[in-house]
């Protein structure tokens, strides 16, 4: 979906809830005729617009910070942010993440610095979308998207590999392995001083 979706209301029903939060004056039953008012309520509601979102046809945007599918981010020149430290896997309460790190070499460099994540799997049959992995990540390599359509028909399809999780290459990004920007060190990368693959 190209056009940005806008939520129907930012209010989240808080106003209605506070309006409804009126103290009950009397514990006693209302008079019989007052009670019959309930029939009018249901009758009236029949002619209101249903509140249903007809999901597969109509998709409403999620909340801005909804916990959806994970994404492994890249620096602006395309190098991976993940350093294979496994902190996400250790933080995971559901044991849904598997990381195997590997050393970068000058010939084959996937991320700035010493190490990169060679194997990165998230098992969405186990993941509880708590976001502790995101909090644990020291390089902001792991974040969550708003994508929630994760149902599938087999168990193996729900174990997402690294290539399923990697952020797409934007314009100006170069698919690793490639060396760091000339004259820059991994510290420059961490400080966010890299903007695009300028020298290529």
Q: Judged by CB, which is closer to other proteins: 15, or 195?
A: 15
Based on its alpha-carbon atoms, the radius of gyration of the chain, rounded to whole angstroms, reads 25
Q: What six digits make up the tokens of 76?
A: 């602006």
Instruction: Report, in Å, the least distance between residue 36 CB and other proteins.
Output: 9
Alpha-carbon distance of 83 to 95, in angstroms, equals 19
Q: How many residues does the chain have?
A: 200
Alpha-carbon distance of 36 to 33, in angstroms, equals 5
The site for other proteins (CB under 8 A) is made up of 38-39, 41-43, 45-46, 48-52, 54
Instruction: Report, in Å, the least distance between residue 38 CB and other proteins.
Output: 5
Q: Judged by CB, which is closer to other proteins: 34, or 65?
A: 34
Please give, one letter per residue, the 3-state secondary structure of 26-60.
Answer: CCCCCCHHHHCHHHHHHHHHCCCCCCCCCCCCCCC
Q: What six digits make up the tokens of 129?
A: 């979308």
Instruction: Report, in Å, the least distance between residue 33 CB and other proteins.
Output: 15
Instruction: Report, in Å, the least distance between residue 62 CB and other proteins.
Output: 21
Q: Judged by CB, which is closer to other proteins: 19, or 65?
A: 19
Instruction: Report, in Å, the least distance between residue 55 CB and other proteins.
Output: 11
Q: Judged by CB, which is closer to other proteins: 19, or 44?
A: 44
CA 1 → CA 4, 44, 149, distances in Å? 8, 36, 14
Q: Judged by CB, which is closer to other proteins: 11, or 108?
A: 11
> What SS3 state is found at 113?
coil
């Amino acid at each position: 979906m190209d056009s940005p979706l806008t939520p129907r209301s930012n209010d989240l029903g808080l106003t209605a809830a506070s309006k409804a939060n009126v103290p009950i004056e009397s514990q006693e039953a209302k008079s019989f005729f007052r009670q019959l008012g309930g029939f009018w309520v249901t009758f009236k509601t029949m002619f209101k617009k249903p509140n249903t979102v007809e999901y597969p046809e109509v998709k409403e945007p999620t909340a801005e910070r909804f916990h959806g599918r994970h994404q492994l981010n890249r620096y602006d020149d395309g190098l991976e942010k993940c350093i294979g430290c496994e902190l996400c896997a250790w933080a995971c309460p559901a044991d849904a993440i598997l990381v195997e790190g590997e050393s970068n070499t000058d010939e084959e460099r996937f991320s700035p610095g010493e190490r990169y994540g060679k194997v990165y799997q998230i098992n969405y049959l186990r993941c509880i979308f708590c976001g502790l992995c995101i909090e644990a990540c020291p390089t902001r390599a792991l974040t969550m998207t708003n994508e929630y359509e994760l149902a599938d028909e087999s168990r193996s399809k729900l174990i997402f590999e690294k290539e399923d999780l990697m952020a797409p290459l934007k314009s100006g990004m170069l698919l690793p392995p490639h060396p760091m920007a000339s004259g820059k060190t991994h510290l420059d990368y961490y400080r966010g001083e890299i903007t695009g693959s300028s020298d290529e």
